[in-house]
Chain A
Amino acid sequence: MSTGTIERENEASLPDSGELLEGSEQIYVAPQWKLMYWKFRKHRMAMVSLVVLTIFYLIAAFCEFVAPYNPEAFFTRYTLAPPTRIHLFDESGTFRGPFVYGLKQERDPETLRPIFTEDTSLIYPIGLFVRGTPYKLWGVFEADLHLFGIGASQDQAGIFLLGADRLGRDLFSRVVYGARISLSIGLVGVFLSLVIGVVLGGISGYYGGVVDNIIQRVIEFIRSIPAIPLWMALSAALPPNWPVVRVYFGITVILSLIGWTGLARVVRGRFLALREEDFVLAARLVGSSEIRIILLHMVPSFLSYIIATLTLAVPGMILAETSLSFLGLGLRPPAISWGVLLQEAQNLRSVALAPWVMLPAVAVVTSILCFNFLGDGLRDAADPYAR
């Protein structure tokens, strides 16, 4: 028991001293953001998550380029085709670089299920930066360059990294396009909650008294009612004939109307703590206006906490959108989000037939985990003076 305690202390202090040796002089003169960066860098998982999330957001930003196909393109011959296997050596064992075989579709004579076999006489090498289906990047720039592809026309052969869905659409392309909505809804939703949370939490913490009491009761109330049934009811009320963009904003508003409470609590807590600090008193004594005190003195000193809390709030938003769309109450096709894609997996029979329709879940889980780790790392780094 007691040895366990000593071990823990040693472990915690060792990297610290290592860090100190590295820049033992610098640590006394380093600006705060540098201290934060040093502290953040020590959180391995947070660093890895930052890289993964950057890649995810780049994919979301350039999804037309990353996806080999148009997400709405049907490949009638490849309905429910399994993920395409990528080969390096052909049948005779010669190295051919990465390539895929053509697919032959047959039907099981008993169950009438489609069976796909590889046609080893047809070889399609995978190329980087190939020309393919034309698209408009961000709806503006016309282009036809894709990150990868097999350069064959759609009726000859296809490459389906994650298989095809029941209409013969490439699941990988759809996941890539879905990233744009699913990942951005988290950011937009959190931004809206931030606005509500900072305003109400700030008022609550700065003025205190009756206002504080009322706002705290409201927060307690919102937290004590089950969120998902309420979300379901509110999003079911969005008119079904709304265009995709409006539904998207409707959903984010609904999510943030309930989601701001956590942020408001953090902001209020920081305000309460800072209100008593000497530098705030000093600013007040020299006659600074309240707005100036809040914006110039208080906000910068808890900005890091806000960023960390924001990061930890993003996965909740992503998850909420996924759950709602999964139930068919959030975004609806033709919108593509990870939740919409997972709707395909709601039917157990189609999951049994084509387990790869569950693969969008991997994207959801990965991004949620990464945001959690990143938030953990940022929270640790937010206060670089704490041990």
Chain B
Amino acid sequence: MAKYILRRVLWMIPTLFVISIISFVIIQLPPGDYLSSYVAQLREQGDQLDAAALESLREQYGLGQPIYVQYWKWVSGIVLRGDFGRSFEWQQPVSSLIWERLGLTVFISLLTILVTWAIAIPVGVYVATHQYSFLDYLMSFISFVGLGTPSFLIALVFLWVMLAVFGINASGMFSSEYISAPWSWAKFQNMMSRIWLPVLILSLDNTASIIRTLRANLLDELNKPYVETARAKGVSETKLTWKYPVRVALNPFFSTIGWTLALLISGETLVAVVLNYQTSGPLLLRSLQSQDMYLAGSFILMLSTLTVVGTLISDILLAWADPRIRLED
């Protein structure tokens, strides 16, 4: 087991390296360098940056030096000092802007996975054991809706219905009095009373497809001889279903949890923009629109890194649950 974990962790290093290169390229994409836009912006505001400060910034980011030196300065700043560069739109270090938003994105994504599974597994088992029931048809219908409707459109329609029918403005993560308040138990409660909406919208996509696949897998499994044998020996129907067939039918989902995470973060970005949430999506969009590249690049870097770490954790959990995986080479 330790060997398996070690191999997986080592494998992560080249992946993270490539991610950092992609993020660095994204930072470098717009014409001009960071410093000249910063100076231009300061000049617009009537400010001047004195030569010494300018020179120290040049030195810090390695501007004017070969590209690999710049990359090294950028990446070592992140790894050694947690310095992601500066957001010139916000006039703050990037690191002071991203952590809270990344945390909220991860929180919503994890909550979505939990909700998805809490709904999908029982319902999937039910529709497999009760084929052609009302719920079976209802689930097929919902899964087609989920298949064809992008989650940001669902969010949009939902906002409109809430406003048109109930006169409630459901956008925003907190009620107005909590937006700029520091974190407290009351603020957390306020967030939880609103957060179910994106969680539900995001889980709709995934829930439907998991139910369909679980149903198909489980139907195959339930027709196998070992189930018949167990039934002949008098094992109760509940135990018969849950003990082995469900576990086998669920296996493919555990192994794709990393992709699910990537899809979730993608979807969350869009839904959060529509709902105007204080997560990473809207800030990433804004930073891209204003070409605030250190902020945008840091988001890309951290969102991708989080997905890779999430995949690692799920792989380790999977190996712990299923000995076949950690033993295979």
Contacts and interface: CB of A to CB of B under 8 A. Distances in A.
A286 interface: no
A319 B154 CA distance: 13
A364 interface: yes
A15 interface: no
Given A223-B262, A229-B284, A355 B289 contact: no
Contacts, number: 132
Given A7-B132, A229-B303, A365-B148, A351 B262 contact: no
Contact of A369 (B144, B163, B300): B144
Nearest to B131: A4
Given A223-B259, A228-B266, A355-B160, A233 B26 contact: yes
A227 B262 contact: yes
B169 A348 contact: yes
Interface stretch (B15-23, B47-55, B78-86, B183-191): B15-23
Contacts of B150: 319, 322-323, 364, 368
Contacts of A138: none
A237 interface: yes
Nearest to A371: B148
Nearest to A348: B159
Contacts of A141: none
A234 interface: yes
A8 interface: yes
B148 A227 contact: no
Interface string A205-246: 000000000000000010111111110111011000000000
B164 A355 contact: yes
Nearest to A345: B156
B304 A225 contact: yes
B interface, by DSSP: helix, strand, loop or mixed?
helix
B66 to A, nearest CB: 22
A328 interface: yes
A342 B169 CA distance: 20
B266 A221 contact: no
Interface stretch (B36-44, B268-276, B316-324): B268-276
A233 B29 CA distance: 9
Nearest to A318: B150
A368 B153 CA distance: 13
B94 to A, nearest CB: 15
Contacts of B22: 225, 230
A351 B159 contact: yes
A236 B293 CA distance: 10
Contacts of A233: 26, 29, 284, 288, 296-297, 300
Nearest to A235: B288
What's the interface size class on B, roughly?
35 or more
Name which of A228, A234, A364, A365 has the most chain B CB atoms within 10 A of its CB: A228
Nearest to A323: B270
Interface residues of A, number: 42
A61 interface: no
B269 A228 contact: yes
B206 interface: no
A326 interface: yes
Name which of A237, A315, A319, A366 has the most chain B CB atoms within 10 A of its CB: A237
Interface string A1-19: 1001101100000000000
B289 A328 contact: yes
Interface string B152-168: 11001101100110000
B102 to A, nearest CB: 12
30 contacts: A4-B132, A5-B223, A223-B262, A224-B307, A224-B308, A226-B262, A226-B307, A227-B263, A228-B266, A228-B267, A229-B303, A230-B304, A232-B285, A232-B288, A233-B288, A233-B300, A234-B26, A236-B291, A237-B26, A315-B148, A323-B152, A323-B270, A329-B285, A348-B163, A351-B159, A352-B160, A355-B160, A361-B156, A366-B148, A369-B144
Interface of B: 15, 18-19, 22, 26, 29-30, 129-132, 144, 147-150, 152-153, 156-157, 159-160, 163-164, 169, 171, 219, 222-223, 237, 258-259, 262-263, 265-267, 269-270, 273-274, 281, 284-285, 288-289, 291, 296-297, 299-300, 303-304, 307-308, 311
Interface of A: 1, 4-5, 7-8, 221, 223-230, 232-234, 236-237, 315, 319, 322-323, 326-329, 342, 345-346, 348, 351-352, 355, 358, 361, 364-366, 368-369, 372
